[in-house]
Chains A and B, each alone.
Chain A
Amino acid sequence: MPGKVKVKILAGRNLPVMDRSSDTTDAYVEIKLGGITHKTDVFRKSLNPQWNSEWFIFEVDDAELQDEPLQIRLMDYDTYSANDAIGKVYLDLNPLLVTPGLSGRGIARAETCSVPSSGGTVLSGWLPVYDTMHGMRGEVSVIVKVELFSDVNKFRQSSCGIQFFSTPATPYGFKIQSIQGFVKELVVNDDPEYQWIDKIRTPRASNEARQTLFSQLSGEVRRKIGLKVLELGGNAVVGYQQMFDLEGVTGLVVRGIGTAVTLARCHSDGNSAVTWFKDQHHGNGRERESDRLRLHHSEPVLQLDDYDPLATSSLLPRFCRLQSLPMHEDSKQLPKKPPQLHGSNSSVKLLDSCGVVKVPAKRKLSLSNLFAKSSVKGKITRPQAPTSSNTLLVPGDDETSKGSPQTRIRSRSLICEMSPIQESYGDSVTESQENSPINKILVPTIIQPTDVISLPIGPEHNLLVPAEHFFSVLEPQESSSFRFQNAQDETCSSGSEMSLNSFALQAKSKVGQSFEQSFSSLLIDDSEDISSNVVLNATTYPPLPEMHPIFPYQIRSPRCTAISPVDVIKPLASTTITAPVVVHGTTPSRPTPCARRSSESEINTTPKASSLSDSFGSSGGGISSNCRPAAHRQTSVPAAPTNTYLNGVDVTRNLDALEYPFLTMKTYPPGFIVHVGGTVSARSVKLLDRINNSEEPETRDNWWTEIRMEVRSHARALGCAVILGYEEHTSISEEVCVLSASGTAAVVKLQHEVDTKDINHGKNNAVNTDDGKVNLPCRVCHIPYSKASIPFPIKLSRCAVCRKGKVPDVLIATIEPPTGMPVSGRGCLIQARLCRPKRAESRGDQQAKEISDGLPFLEYELHRQLINKLRTKGMNAIFHLKVQVSIGERHVVGVATGTALFLSALPTPSLPKPSNPSISSKQSKRGRIHKLLIEANAASQERYGLNKQLNKVNDVEEPKWTDSDDTDEDANDLDLTAGNKDSCVIEIDDIEDIDVIELLIDPETPEGFDVVTTETVPGLPIDSIRRRPNLQAFNRVWKGKIPTLHAARHLNRCFEMILRSIYFKLRKSRPCVITNLEFSVDLPEDDEIQITVLGTAITAFSKTTIEVAPCIGTSLRGVGSTESEMIFHLEDDVQLVTSNEQAASTARVNQPNRHIPLPPPSNQGPLKTSVDKAKIFVQKERQPVDIVTLIHLPGSRVERYLGHLNFFFIRESTSIREDGGLSGFMQSFITEVLGIVRAHVSALGGNAMVSYFMTQCVLLHNPHKNQGQCLINVGGDVVLAARCTPDKDV
């Protein structure tokens, strides 16, 4: 129940004329949240109405608060006809839910103390009124407040307080206390655009229905992910990515992935922990203490344990699973303090076991030991009482509770109370069994219990709880006790559910001479739709011998065979995971070996299971507080290949032990990454089928599970346990869908763990220990596997920096270059583009197969192009690589974009050498090409300063090199004659190959531009952009025809043109750094290609302009004295008051830092000046809102994060020609969208948005009807930033 939303509508301005006769509008406002609607009075005959309404109050459930947007609709009142809609404002309330006072476990807590600002809970300002048919239509001034009651309900469905960051890094001002791991969620719905009703309703109604739905689904996904995070014990999600898959008739899939972490404020975190601790220990009695703890720092804990009441209760009669959620984040940071104080608690989770079980005969009990002080040990036998749901409360008195729902947890005051409603739910569900609608609704939620520790459960379905488990959580030494040895956990939980989802994965692999032959796996959903759910995951690898050396890592281990066909960037691995065919009967009483929900997949081939289970019991926390017990996997997957576990992996066993050791962040703290293995990726081609039960999107889940498993296995093959910079994408054309997942395999280290690790792992991690001690900056580049275990020909050489480690000749990663890694020269953009024709006539299976067959070739070519370009540039590493494969009617396009750089540790690349063995007459031509390449190479070295650096390195290093005792390393260095292993030999057989070579030489980037896909230009001194730079996030959309003939060449030209047009556009802001450049390609129509480019241009001030720079701040504001003064007074009073508050808080934030006070939000009133005249500029004009795609604001410092925004807009027009053509339509749409984003940023009290993204930009055009429609999904993190004062920099 816990939310009260108060809305006040103050005024409107610049409204459109709705009444032609009087040239005015009779406007009123409808405010809608969930099912409740309020209205203001009609303000007659004005384009600038002043409603000044009373507070409209909505009392809503917090789950609803998270899902539902607040809809503010402006209407024009008509006496005689129907009232006309003017437009709407969608307000995402989520940023208001992360209130400083209520936020999860200490985020922003410290900050709250120092800055008691209401900024988090109040939104106020002028928001643009938007209509899908007319665009922007004036603005409305609103104030929205959210009052959250602390929800102590353990089983709630909401996850308020979990903060989301699209920032793929540690947010500024925070540190990550612990990483809980990968979180994901997927929600499926029908797309209103394809429902029958769409045929009879107006385009506006249809668009609005869609916008509303998207907004709801987006909220829902976030809420559910939040729940998982709570469950995992985290308090935030970083690197959050949300995607909308518009499948068309088969529906709409909203996917969210992110990394659950526990964040703490950087500075005051330690202190607060200490206080807590004291609080604890000086309390009267234990019970007291824990209660107090609750009261003071309740939210995190509460949230952690809260569960969707509906979901949970519905499951009560069935299975309950005992889980514990230990949290050790503190133990890492503050080893002397009881780690658990923050949030460590193992709690009972009533886990659904998927509601399909017909016979609720066997049960498991859930235990919760929240702050258990007394140990509970014993067996709890559940009588088979179907009517009763029960929870076992660990703490104190009622250790065994059973029977009626009312016995539920009373003792721990607030925490465990359940509202009667929920209880009754429990009952009703019991009666109605799983077929009840409630149950269905709940199913998606149920997916959550993924990464949770399960306690062992005896075969008799008794609970056997190890005693230590319940020992006081307050005692540090017990922290490790949260790991339980587990037997067959989760025993019988999801019996029948399994049967629904279990599938057979048939894998056959043929091993050709030097390559993997076609390999296909067939996925059969045994319950429904067998035929439609054909997974074509097949690939053929051509024998491409020369390709070997370019893949730094290939592992062919006899033990494990992998599914890696589709991945070219990564090895031609020959590993196959054979998953057992698990078909479960519907008898739940039979303990099934594989007890997890199938969304987590049964193909949990965890190769290192055995080693894990060994050390499991003693594992000391680490990154994840909830490792998946590996032993269970072992049992569940009998056929699992054994240990492919290589050295160095142990370091990360905790992360690794996660089902998905994926981190979506791209930037990591220094020292976190030990080794970078390389890029791993997987693709899969699927046929879209109707999602029959949208509440249970199992097929989609399975698809992703499958792919994630594959990615994971690739990483393992590289000896890496963790995947960093993980991303997922889809490309849909008609009924075929290509799913892609990629990331960077790496070995990571948690600083605090080093010691124990080294002791534990003996010889295997020799390399690791070695390096760990030395802590060389170049270590990151060293290979994570031992040289001996590489069965494939790969060129390894000694690290050019330390001469100790082995390095590959090329390193490719999707993450940002780790800090401190030695780089020579500067980085630059590198891009490979490829277009392959496709037979248009094929449909369905045929088409899917064709695409699937073609993908490996595409990827191989792409990779070859990339590597050759890299060599031509004279560089040896690529970071922040993004490979996108898009499918269309006639073409398949692959684009790989990254930042090339020269790693000092890696060997100097050899220049590609054209060879033409067959035709000698073309000698001259070959010579010419060679010359071209040499020239390009020289130019690049000059341009990016490789030359200088290289020489330097060589000068210094040369002697050492020869001194090296390991001489055969040198021989390894370069041997062009060594046959076709060398990738740097380009064969010219035909005209096309010549094309290929010409494609290798990129036109030079104009002087004054540095273009990269990374956050900063590697190798470029930071000071060059330190000074108050101009920041400009830009969206470039280009759509044009792509001819079938010479498509590849044409595509190349398109990209060149787009890049050059960007340079040209920004010509006047040179010198300029273009960062975070991101391309995405869509093939919407037969022969059309749409390229969307996103990036941030940072105008660096050169030496000469430095003097000018300081003036910028003032000149921005100091324009026009009298007129601005006037404007000023037009401001609304109420506005002034609130903004004054904000100003005050800002002033406080800023003073100590000697920063120019920040542009607190929009509408600054004159009152502000009275706050602190000396410190604050009189804001005469609206402060600009910076938007960047970066995680930071160059020249500014992020003070606070104010929430994550995610918008979905639709714009439709039936007068495209009159609007200035499609370009005009698009331009005004994007402009307006950015305007709306800025307005929302400002209304939330921010002045900038970081990590801005535009993930969807779907443009549909019907020239005959003069009609067009566009969908855009944009968002980012709202921040309040302090701009550095110029003098500070000087």
Chain B
Amino acid sequence: MECSVDVFVGNTTVIDPEIYQLWVDGNSAHEAADILQQRGILQQWGANMDLLMSDVLDHYRTFHMLEKTLHTPLKLTAAGEWTFQIDGDTQQMLIEKYYELDDVVVREVLGKKLSSRHRKDLDEVSEKTAISLRSCRRQFDNVKRIHKFVEELPGHIVNNIQHNFLLSTELSRKYAAVVFIAVNRFETTKRKLQYLNFSDFYHCAHQMIEHWSSTSCHATSIRNQPETEMEIETDLDVDRGFLHDLREVRILLDKEKELKHLVCSQLKGRLTDKIYSDMESSFKTHSRSLVLLAGNLNRSRELRSLFVDLVERCVEPLRQARWTSRDLRLFLDYYTPAGVQLFKSDSATALVWERYMKVISSCLVKIYHN
């Protein structure tokens, strides 16, 4: 029926989770109505398409109004405006769904500068991921918004996101990873890295946030930095002092033989013969790449290309040698303590090595797949 105004406004804002999901997914009102129709909603409620359309449009308008508020979720809840009256559970649902991330999309966004130039390229992302453009844009904007908001905030990034955007821990961690990678400008887009998915980066980022950042538990271990300085630190930055200290581990290059001996003696019998012999023969290469990587990380260019380096120097050679990821884990499990053992005279460096290897081992194992 032709009409110019057709609205329904309740005192409690009416939210239909099903339609909301369709909206979040980037469907237009007509698409949403079609989808609902296919789901049999009309038969279920004895309605016709007009009614459905009117209802969907009504919801869409509500969502449209809500969207502004969703950009600053705090406004939606207790301290928020009076405009919408929505119960707590629904608020939570609204926010969570709005900030939902598709891993495939995030993977595409990852490492790119969050500028409007890239926003324009989202149609390619959409094409590639088969996620609707609207949804891609929403995710891009969300990442950008959160990035902008948390970038400068001191403290734990996950907590910051969680408190300011009221997201679940899981979702906050995703954003934290994205933000961390963006802030440290890690190279993620190289062709060689294409095989890595978001969960790989997610894992690595959180390993780094946990162990390498200024606020991580190891931070004060070496240099006694003044407390005040600590306070303004955020776990978004990799601990500069730590990176600086990492240069010390180059000593291992000189102690290569001992290292190899230690590792090999431990690993003997635990690896298959074929792998063991490969490890024995190319131990120098493997070890060198790990130690050199550590030694150079204090250069920010090196840090940025961490993933590329890991893949190029570690993953690819090992893959060629047909190591399994179990082999790799075993190797790393013994390689790290061996290094620690060699630093026994210098416990500080031993700690640094351990802190370094903890993250690297974990990351390597994670990204060692096809």
Which A residues lie at the B interface, using CB under 8 A? 13-14, 126, 128, 136, 139, 1006, 1030-1041, 1053-1054, 1057, 1060-1062, 1064-1065, 1067-1068, 1088, 1090, 1097, 1115-1120, 1122-1124, 1126-1128, 1130-1131, 1180-1182, 1184-1187, 1220-1224, 1226-1228, 1230-1232, 1234-1236, 1238-1239, 1242, 1259, 1261
Contact = CB atoms under 8 A, between A and B. Distances in A.
Interface in B85-101: 85, 87-89, 91-92
B4 A128 contact: no
B277 to A, nearest CB: 54
Contacts of A1090: 5
Interface stretch (B73-81, B174-182, B216-224, B356-364): B73-81
Contacts of A1030: 12
Contact of A1223 (B1, B52, B57, B88): B57
A1053 B10 CA distance: 23
A803 B80 CA distance: 62
A963 B83 CA distance: 65
Contacts of B74: 1127
Contacts of B87: 1115-1116, 1184
A1261 B5 CA distance: 11
A1223 B61 contact: yes
Contacts of B16: 1068
B7 A1223 contact: yes
Contact of B78 (A14, A1031, A1181, A1226): A1181
Contact of A1127 (B11, B13, B52, B78): B78
A1226 B58 CA distance: 11
Interface stretch (B43-51, B131-139, B191-199, B330-338): B43-51
Interface in B59-75: 61-62, 64-65, 74-75
Given A139-B82, A1182-B78, A1064 B11 contact: no
Contact of B5 (A1060, A1239, A1259): A1259
A1220 B64 contact: yes
B163 interface: yes
Given A128-B82, A1119-B91, A1130-B79, A1224 B61 contact: yes
A855 B52 CA distance: 37
B2 A1057 contact: no
Given A128-B82, A1122-B163, A1180-B78, A1034 B46 contact: no
28 contacts: A136-B81, A1032-B11, A1032-B12, A1033-B11, A1035-B9, A1037-B5, A1040-B5, A1057-B51, A1061-B6, A1064-B51, A1065-B55, A1115-B87, A1115-B88, A1116-B87, A1119-B89, A1120-B88, A1127-B78, A1131-B79, A1181-B78, A1184-B85, A1186-B11, A1187-B11, A1220-B61, A1222-B5, A1223-B57, A1231-B65, A1235-B81, A1238-B82
Nearest to A1188: B11
A1053 to B, nearest CB: 7
Nearest to B12: A1032
Given A136-B83, A1124-B77, A1127-B78, A1061 B166 contact: no
A1235 B8 contact: no
B84 interface: yes
Contact of B4 (A1054, A1187, A1261): A1261
A1061 B55 contact: yes
**How would you classify the secondary structure of chain B's contact residues: helix, strand, loop or mixed?**
mixed
A1120 B92 CA distance: 8
Interface string B269-294: 00000000000000000000000000
Contacts of B11: 1031-1034, 1185-1187, 1234, 1238
Contact of A1065 (B1, B58, B88): B58
Contact of A1235 (B1, B14, B57, B83): B83
A1062 B77 contact: no
Contacts of B207: none
A1226 B5 contact: yes
A1038 B6 contact: yes
B266 interface: no
A1272 to B, nearest CB: 11
B296 interface: no
A1030 B16 CA distance: 16
A1068 B14 CA distance: 10
B82 A1235 contact: yes
Contacts of B1: 1040, 1053-1054, 1057
Nearest to A1119: B88
Minimum-distance CB pairs A-B, first 10 = A1040-B3, A1119-B88, A1039-B5, A1235-B82, A1187-B11, A1235-B83, A1230-B9, A1239-B82, A1227-B7, A1034-B10
Nearest to A1234: B11
A123 to B, nearest CB: 15
B51 A1061 contact: yes
B84 A1235 contact: yes
B197 to A, nearest CB: 30
Contacts of B79: 13, 1127, 1130-1131
Nearest to A1126: B163
B142 interface: no
B54 interface: yes
Contacts of A1053: 1
Contacts of B58: 1065, 1223, 1227
A375 to B, nearest CB: 58
Nearest to B64: A1220
The interface centre, meaning the residue of B81, B83, B91 with most chain A CB atoms within 10 A of its CB, is: B83
Contacts of A1035: 7-10
Given A1061-B51, A1184-B87, A1123 B163 contact: yes
Contacts of B81: 14, 128, 136, 139, 1235
Residue among A1041, A1088, A1235 with the highest chain B CB neighbour number at 10 A = A1235
A1128 B163 CA distance: 12
B89 A1033 contact: no
Interface string B5-41: 1111111111010000000000000000000000000
Interface string B245-269: 0000000000000000000000000
A1006 B4 contact: no
Contacts of A126: 82
A1220 B68 CA distance: 14
A1041 B2 contact: yes
Given A1062-B8, A1065-B14, A1123-B163, A1227 B78 contact: no
Given A1061-B51, A1123-B166, A1032 B75 contact: no
B162 interface: yes
A1037 to B, nearest CB: 5
Contacts of A1181: 77-78, 88
Contacts of A1117: 88
A13 B74 CA distance: 12
A906 B85 CA distance: 45
Contacts of B2: 1040-1041
A1064 B82 contact: no
Contacts of A1128: 78
Most buried by B among A1032, A1065, A1118, A1184: A1065
A1235 B62 CA distance: 14
Nearest to A1007: B46
A1061 B6 CA distance: 10
User: Which of B12, B54, B75 has the most C-beta atoms of chain A within 10 angstroms of its own C-beta?
Assistant: B12
A683 B92 CA distance: 53
Contacts of B77: 1120, 1123-1124, 1127, 1181-1182
Given A1040-B4, A1061-B51, A1181-B78, 13 more contacts: A1033-B10, A1040-B3, A1053-B1, A1057-B51, A1061-B54, A1064-B45, A1116-B87, A1122-B162, A1124-B77, A1180-B78, A1221-B4, A1232-B83, A1238-B85
A1231 B91 contact: no
A1228 B65 contact: yes
B61 A1227 contact: yes
Indicate the member of B2, B5, B55, B89 with the most A CB atoms within 10 Å. B5
